[in-house]
């Protein structure tokens, strides 16, 4: 079953020139205006896309390539000049910051306004109101006009409405780039929750890391036409390769892509090892043990920026944790050769088999060297706890009644 079916769709925008204010402008520009008004820029041309129910799809491409217009066609804000767009189920969209809000209305009033525009009844909004306010973290501002809100506050409220009304189809256009890191993480976790419920999601973003974390598929749009459609990593790599065309030091070579490693090789990662608390190189640890990840790097062509990162996965490729030097604002001084160490004071993983991915990439996400399942390790535990990781805690059980010893 398809949530979105786009068949042979094309869209143009009429070329409207500014109104003339003087007689000179009217007479001198008349002929030029006639020529300009005959030119209608083609924004999308013969687009055919089918998106299955439950898929998460990324739209990638340069600014002005037609990605946002495509989202507006799906959401019925715009209509195609040619072709047909079919959408199944309720649609919730985050296309422009503050869209669907009235600046003079309070946050609460705008919840009702925005959700009504999305097609929800007052009863449906009432049932979700507390969830929306709680998720937005704007309880102290909810009775104040949104004209005093910052862009981050706008985004919090808009996102909270869009995801808590439980849509069948969610459309997101770059809005996740607004707001603080903690709330962005919270949004991504909520999107993953919607994915588990079978929600179809279409995302426009220039953040390759977010795209690869969330999306199953990517569609690259170039000058209003579909250039590539397929596996998210492969499409993003081809797109980045096109962006870097002409600069061989940053160009991602397609022949370097394998099932386990990819990147352009400007920085190469080698000699990846794990060490225990006694600095012994091993691959088996206790759940509370100290661990040190160490790897070497070699620079073949000095890049304009460098980010090192790692992520821990289960054997089923469920991500437990991932971070990098950019997120944590760790300064990196790059030499021709070097070593990177990540010290983890307490592993806190429960018994099982795990993998670590290691990466070196540009700050925009373009990989120099990404190694999937770079190193494997196992964790043993003498306790019967369940799950993947240990949460530090203390028990305290009390009673107000006087009872005897058991």
* Cα–Cα dist 141/102, whole Å: 15
Query: For residue 172, how far is the Cα from the chain centroid?
Result: 10
| Alpha-carbon span 295 to 271, nearest angstrom | 5
**pLDDT band, residue 341 (cuts 50/70/90):** very high
- Arithmetic mean of pLDDT, 45-69: 91
Q: How confident is the model at residue 355 (pLDDT cuts 50, 70, 90)?
A: very high
Given a cut of 90, is residue 57 above it in pLDDT? Answer: yes
Out of 63-67, 219-223, 267-271, least confident range: 63-67
Q: Which residues of 150-181 are buried (b: 16+ CB within 10 A; e: fewer)?
A: eeebbbbbbbbbbbbbebbbbbbbbbbebbee
What confidence score (pLDDT) does residue 309 get? 95
pLDDT-based confidence at residue 206 (cuts at 50, 70, 90): confident
CA distance 48 to 8: 5
Architecture category of domain 262-380 in CATH: Distorted Sandwich (2.70)
pLDDT of residue 268 exceeding 50: yes
Cβ–Cβ under 8 Å, residues 182 and 104: no
- Which position has the higher pLDDT, 382 or 309? 309
The pLDDT-based confidence of 252 (bands split at 50, 70, 90) is: very low
Q: Which of 17-31, 134-148, 205-219 has the highest mean pLDDT?
A: 134-148
Read off the pLDDT band of 249 (50, 70, 90).
very low
Mean pLDDT in the chain?
83
pLDDT at 387 over 80: no
- Listed by start position, the domains of the chain span 57-75+90-245, 262-380
* CATH number for region 57-75+90-245: 3.40.50.300
What confidence tens digit (pLDDT) does each residue in 167-180 have? 899 998 876 655 56
Determine the pLDDT at residue 345. Answer: 92
pLDDT in tens, 21-30: 565 555 555 5
| 325: confidence class by pLDDT, cuts 50, 70, 90 | very high
What integer pLDDT is reported at residue 183 of this predicted model? 75
pLDDT of residue 108: 93
Lowest mean pLDDT: which of 80-89, 111-120, 254-263, 292-301?
254-263
Q: What is the pLDDT of residue 27?
A: 56
What is the tens place of the pLDDT at every residue in 63-76?
Answer: 888 998 999 999 88
The residue written with tokens 């990324």 in the block is 58
Percent pLDDT > 90 in the chain is: 36
Q: What is the DSSP string of 109-158?
A: HHHHHHHHHTT--HHHHHHHHHHHHHHHT-GGGTTSBGGG--HHHHHHHH
If pLDDT is split at 50, 70 and 90, which confidence band does 33 have?
low
Read off the pLDDT of each residue in 132-147 and give the average, rounded to a whole number. Answer: 91
One fold for 57-75+90-245 and 262-380: no
For residue 6, pLDDT beyond 80 = yes
For residue 287, the model assigns a pLDDT of 84
Each residue of 276-308: pLDDT tens digit?
888 888 889 988 889 999 999 999 988 889 999
Choice between 46 and 38, residue whose per-residue pLDDT is larger: 46
Does residue 47 carry a pLDDT above 90?
yes
DSSP three-state, residue 15: coil
pTM confidence score: 0.60
Task: Give the angle subtended at the CA of 294 by the CAs of 291 and 296, to the nearest 5°.
Answer: 175
Per the structure block, which two tokens stand in for 119? 């097609």
Share above pLDDT 70 across residues of the chain, in percent, rounded to a whole number: 84
* Mean predicted confidence (pLDDT) in 304-327: 89
């Amino acid at each position: 079953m398809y949530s979105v079916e786009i068949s042979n769709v094309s869209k143009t925008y009429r070329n409207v020139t500014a109104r003339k204010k003087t007689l000179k402008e009217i007479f001198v520009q008349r002929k030029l205006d006639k020529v300009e008004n005959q030119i209608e820029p083609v924004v999308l041309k013969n687009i055919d896309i089918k998106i299955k129910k439950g898929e998460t799809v990324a739209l990638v491409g340069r600014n002005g390539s037609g990605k946002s217009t495509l989202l507006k066609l799906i959401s019925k804000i715009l209509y195609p000049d040619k072709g047909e767009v079919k959408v199944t189920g309720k649609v919730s969209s985050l296309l422009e910051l503050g869209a669907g809000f009235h600046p003079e209305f309070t946050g609460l009033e705008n919840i009702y306004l925005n959700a009504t525009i999305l097609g929800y009844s007052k009863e449906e909004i009432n049932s979700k109101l507390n969830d929306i306010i709680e998720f937005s973290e704007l309880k102290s501002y909810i009775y104040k006009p949104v004209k005093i809100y910052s862009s981050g506050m706008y985004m919090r409220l808009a996102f909270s409405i869009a995801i808590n009304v439980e849509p069948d189809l969610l459309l997101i256009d770059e809005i996740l780039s607004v707001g603080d890191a903690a709330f962005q993480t919270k949004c991504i976790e909520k999107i993953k929750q919607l994915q588990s419920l079978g929600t179809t999601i279409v995302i426009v973003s220039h953040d390759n890391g977010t795209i690869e974390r969330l999306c199953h598929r990517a569609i690259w749009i170039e000058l209003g036409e579909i250039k590539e459609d397929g596996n998210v990593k492969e499409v993003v790599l081809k797109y980045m390769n096109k962006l870097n065309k002409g600069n061989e030091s940053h160009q991602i070579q397609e022949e370097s892509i394998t099932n386990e490693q990819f990147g352009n090789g400007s920085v190469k990662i080698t000699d990846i090892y794990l060490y225990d608390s006694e600095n012994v190189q091993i691959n088996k640890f206790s759940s509370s043990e100290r661990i040190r990840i160490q790897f070497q790097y070699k620079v073949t062509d000095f890049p304009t920026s460098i980010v090192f990162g790692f992520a821990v996965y289960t054997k089923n490729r469920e991500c437990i944790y991932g971070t990098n030097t950019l997120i944590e604002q760790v300064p990196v001084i790059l030499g021709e050769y070097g070593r990177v160490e990540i010290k983890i004071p307490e592993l806190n993983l429960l018994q099982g088999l795990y993998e670590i991915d290691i990466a070196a990439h540009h700050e925009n996400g373009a990989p120099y060297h990404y190694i999937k399942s770079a190193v494997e390790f196992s964790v043993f535990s003498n306790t019967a706890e369940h799950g993947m990781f240990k949460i530090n805690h203390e028990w305290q059980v009390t009673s107000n009644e006087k009872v005897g010893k058991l």
